[in-house]
Structure 1
Amino acid sequence: MEAVRSRLSGLLALFPRHGIGRRLLLTLLAGLAVLNVVMTAVSTAQLSGALEEAIRTEIALAETLVAQPVSAALWQLDPGGAENGLRGLSAMTHFAAAKVIAEDEVFASLAATAAVPEEAVVSRVPLLSPDEAVIGMLELTFDAGPIQDRVAFVRIRTILFGVTVFLLAGLIVAALSISIVQPIRAAVVEIEGLRDGRTEDRIESAARRDEVGQVGRALDVLRRALLEKQELEREKQHRDAEEARLAIKRNEENARAEAERTARMQEQERVVTTLAAALQRVAAGDLRCTLTEPFDSIYEPLRHDYNAAIHRLSDVVAKITESAGTLSAQAKTMSSFAHDLSQRSETAAAALRQTRSATTSLAKTASDAARDTESFAKVSEQVRQITAEKRDVVRNAVGAMDDVEMSSTEIGKITLIISKIASQISILSINASIEAARAGPSGAGFAVVAESVRDLASQTARAAEEIEGSVERRSTIVTDGLTYIREADTALERIGNDVVSLSEGTQSLSTTVSAQSEDVASIDSAMVEIEGTIREGAIISNDAARASATLSQEASRLDQLVSQFQIENGSSALTSISQRNADLGLNSSEPKAARH
């Protein structure tokens, strides 16, 4: 694309005197002409090459088909066979003639046309014998005239097509050039109108939606800017005239303001002088100097504020005078109260020390009683634990005796079974003896066995009876022992309950004694705290007495300071303070220091 643009720019530069439309038209037409020539040459060359390749292919095919049979006919010296071999070439499109030459003579020939064509292509192929020796030459002639005619026709057709395209493209480019140049010329006319100052004319090209429309819209913005500039210039002229008028008016107002300022400065000087004199009298302590002469309306609030401040200050001094006398009287009274409180605190501390001594003895006694009750509670707990352990042993013994009793019962059942078995064996042995007696001599041995079995059954029955008697005796003993053990368990249970009750009572007593001991200790601690508090109260009382004396001295100093002011009743503040102290019956003596 860059190469095309550079070439178009070069072509446009060749026509510097022509307009843009004509330059664009000539450039595009030149490009189309060059493109037409190139396309014609390329298409002609491609077609020529294709047709020549077709002839070469046809010649190669003919050589392949004819060379072998013609060589065989020539080797056999058969002209008819050679001509028959050449007849296959007549079917080819461009075939013209063929000759077989042997020793510079025509051995056989075949012609498709009577005359040799002007545009002929001749190909010679050597004919070989079976032993690969050259025995002749095959000369093939092909007509290239149709190919040249076809190439000429295609060239003419391509040129005509190019000319047609060239003309159509020229018309299109001309129309395009006109459509581009006319809006540009209209935009140039609008630009020249803006240059001449015709800002009222409307920019018609701004309605377009192409690049010329963008230029038109830019021109419209420029036109509006010029209109705004003209409007601003008119406004500036109007503003300059208005500013000149305002300057004249401002100068008149400044002259009038200067006169007023001079009068105001004179009035201000009078006000400042009057206030300075009044403030000097206030600084000297005279609070009776009020401003009675009225000021100008601007400064009249200042005079009222000054008079109000003087009246308020006079009232404050009078109240301070009254408060100073009251403060002095209260300080002396407080000093006396602090002295009395200090003495009473010392008396209370002495009584509290005696009470603390008694509570200390009571606390020691309660602590000893608490330790004894704790020791007794521990012994009771040990007895309860031992009793519980012995009850476990007795219960184990009761369980063991119950097992023995159950075993005796089982043994009795077993001996009863053994007795029954022995009686059954005895019956069986008797039956066996009877059967042996019936058998006669042959049953003698069986009779002896039966007798032995009967004796064994008798012994077993006696042993079972003895075991049963022994078990009954042992069962009686176990039953008696079980009764005794159960009575012992009941006694241990009562002992354990009594010990638990005694332990609980002892623990309750120990808790009560411990609580009383703690109460006594708390009372003793409280006594210590009360004693400390009383001592601190005595110290505070002494401090309060000293502070009261200091406060009384400061009140006297305040009286001296306030006495410098003259209030509205015509007397000084000191006279008022002395009169008030006389009315209260106070003297100026210092309070006595409190004892420590």
Structure 2
Amino acid sequence: MAGACIAASVAILVSYSTFATYRTHGYVNGRVSEMVQQQVKQNLQNRADAEARFIKSELDMAFDAARTTANSFEQMAAPGAGGTAAGGRRAQFNAVLRNVLEHNPSFNGTYSAWEPNGLDGNDGPYQNAAAMGSDATGRFLPYWTRGAGGKIAIQPLVEYDSSARHPNGLVKGAWYINPHNTHRENLLGPLPYIVQGKQVYLATMSVPIMINGVFHGVAGADYNLDFLQTLASQVSKSLYDGKSTVAVINDSGLIVADSANPEAIGGAAAKANPAWASSAQVIAAGKSVVVDDPKSENLQVYAPIKIGRVDTSWAVLISVPRAMVMADAALLSDQLGQRSTVDTMLQVLISLGIAAIAIAMTWRMAATVTSPISRCAEFADGIAQEKLNQQLAIAQDDEVGTLAEALRKMQNDLRVNLEHREQDQARTQLVVDTVSRSLERLAEGDLTTQINEEFSAEYANVKRHFNAAVSSLREIISAVDDSSKTINIGAGEINQASSDLASRTETGAARLEQTALAMNSVTAIVRQTAENAAQARTAITSTDRQAAEGGAIVHNAVMAMGEIERSSEQISQIISLIDGIAFQTNLLALNAGVEAARAGDAGKGFAVVASEVRSLAMRSAEAAQDIKNLINVSSQQVSQGVTLVGETGTALEHIIEQISQLRETIDEIASSAEVQATNLAQINTAVGEMERMTQQNAAMVEESTAAARSLGDQARTLESAVGRFNLGNGSHGSFGMGKRYAA
């Protein structure tokens, strides 16, 4: 009986042990399969998100370049002093588009399309001017493209107003029609297009050009989508020995890239692969999604690509065979199952004699298997919660030990990546803060500011270009300051010379009045002609000498006015140089914005700084234009003064001739009293003319004095404007510039 009880006990224990072993195996197998599957899904999702971010950064760079170009065109075509003259806009805008294309090798083309007469109101003369980017309508439609050999060429845009559709359903002219109707940015692709005789698939990014709230056209950039196909193939090869499929699909469900079937590019995803029939709905949601349909042989992972400021998004799709995903889990499950079977057989064979030991071994094995797996699961959950300082003390030479080592390596890699990201952010923040402070001092008029902080190698050009630009601006403002002082001194000398000339003219007028009185006396006492003629001869001789001196003074005044006019022309040349530098600074800011866009999220702050630099350059151009206008007005007034003084000299020559005639007449009076009596009336008339011309000379001298005084005031105004800047010579202008930024 006891033996039967022992046998029954052993049988019960063995049965329970066998049941417990299989139950434990099932639990462990399920947990491991679930953990591995979740980890694989997370890894695939992370990989898809990473590739989506990379694609976004590449295409955003084109969007940023198009947006910066559109903003620049809005400023340059805006009415007022800050815009570019209408006659030079086409050439200047073409230069900007070509410059953007040359500095962005990844771009396939840059373009701009304007409404009829929307650029300069003068489309007529440019009909069929393909070299300027115009078609038969004369509209400004330049399309700058880069061929396979790197050759850059221009051609007019076509199908910009076409509502017809490509074979894949995309509207041919949507890149222009949509911004025209919505006033929003537009993304179109994959778009089949013929560029320099070769068909390529492009993504085109277009940005509306709005001037005073009115649509005038678009500016855009084309990006060749071949890089997406290359990227999809590379990612596919790196996943599961190339057994995965990587695709990029747009918001309409069209294939942009497909590692497994490149010929499907441009077609519908649902047609290329029935398993992708719901891709358009998934992409429209704009979220990262893992589609795990038990009826499907593949596991599908979607990561959204939000590009620019458009309302739609594209997506990266990674499709992996379910059998490949679960291969490691199945292998581990088989290994655990084999071990469980062997252990169960050993337990059955030896449990008849050592039931207690068998029971203990059963429980021990269960604890050995489940406890490390549970600890690994807790460790993986901690990693998912970004707890990257955990410890996993499992060191076993089996599958569980391999799993633990993989989890520890994953945690260490994530921690290192996080540290590198924080270091990159710190370096970028240093550059942004330093440039912001320097620009704030520059906005306050301090032209001695320089960036002395050490930047990392990738930002060294920012420091060098900023310091060079400030140095050039300081030299130019110094030259303008010196020229304004020289003009001020010259204006003072002219004012003094004009005052002296006015005094001498008044003296000449008084003497002419005395001469008139003397001639009246001669009329009254004709019989005393000889004596009066002698006195008149003396007076006329003196008047002749003074008139000659007046002529010499007027000649000197003409020479001085000419020097002032030449100085004004030199100042105009200097102002033109400042205007040119402002334009170059504007282009430099544009290129800096494009380079910042290429840097992605790390360059957004610097893109704002580049925009502010471009705004400052445009305000400098406006100030230079105002100064140039003042100099032009001053030059016109100086030219008028030169003309008036020249007329004064001519009038004095006439006076000298009249005086000579009068002297001859007096000689004749001395020799013949009768002839003197006959000519007295003529002499009185001549003297009246001389007095009138002398009064006119006095008025002209007053006008010359006023013009010289006005030139001096304008020179002082220019000197005061330049005095606003600190040029590093130990002095500051009397007017300070208000701060544009908070300290």
Task: Note whether the superposition's TM-score is higher than 0.5.
Answer: no
User: Which category describes the TM-score, using the shorter chain as reference length?
Assistant: under 0.3
Instruction: Flag the structure with higher strand content.
Output: 2
The TM-score, its normalising length taken from structure 1, stands at 0.24
Instruction: Flag the structure with higher helix content.
Output: 1
The TM-score, its normalising length taken from structure 2, stands at 0.20
Identify which of structures 1 and 2 has the higher relative contact order when contacts are C-alpha pairs closer than 8 Å and 6+ apart.
Answer: 1
